[in-house]
Amino acid sequence: MVDRFEVASALREVGSILDALGENRFRARAYVRGAAAVEGVEDLDLLVDEGRLTEVRGIGEALARVIDELVRTGHSAMLDRLRAQVPASVLELASLRGLSLDKARALHDALGVSSVPELEVAARAGRVREHGAARDAR
């Protein structure tokens, strides 16, 4: 069983990956808004059990299905599919505070950075600054 904060984290990750993959930005934002809505729910398990997730503002049918799956199984097939489309190294970099998935992907694609130690080496060598794609990641 996962709690509402773990569900919200998974929804934010879905939104971030959708955004990084260039999917519809409104769809990506819906997952981020859904994460905030889930965090505000007192008894998520009860809403899932009673099939009332769509009564929460910001949660539509598609989002409710993902939340239901997360609560009942602890994972999401959709999130698994999305993660498979992004290199694991990019997801690792994006887990760093202040480094978005877009910036992590730009570092990976432009500089070949695929781990935190490689990012440190690239930053010390000035390659990150020269590239400019991760200006805010310093």
Q: Give the tens place of pLDDT for each residue, 92-137.
A: 888 788 888 888 888 888 888 888 899 999 889 988 888 764 444 4
pTM: 0.76
Distances (CA, A) of 63 to 46, 72, 76, 94, 123: 17, 14, 11, 23, 38
Q: pLDDT tens-digit profile of 61-93?
A: 999 999 999 999 999 999 999 999 988 888 888
**Whether 13 contacts 32, CB under 8 Å:** no
Residue 81 token pair: 């599919």
**Assigned CATH topology for domain 4-84:** DNA polymerase; domain 1 (1.10.150)
Domain boundaries, the chain: 4-84, 88-137
> pLDDT: is 44 or 129 the higher one?
44
Q: DSSP class of residue 54? A: G
C-alpha span between 44 and 4 (Å, rounded): 6
CA distance 102 to 86: 11
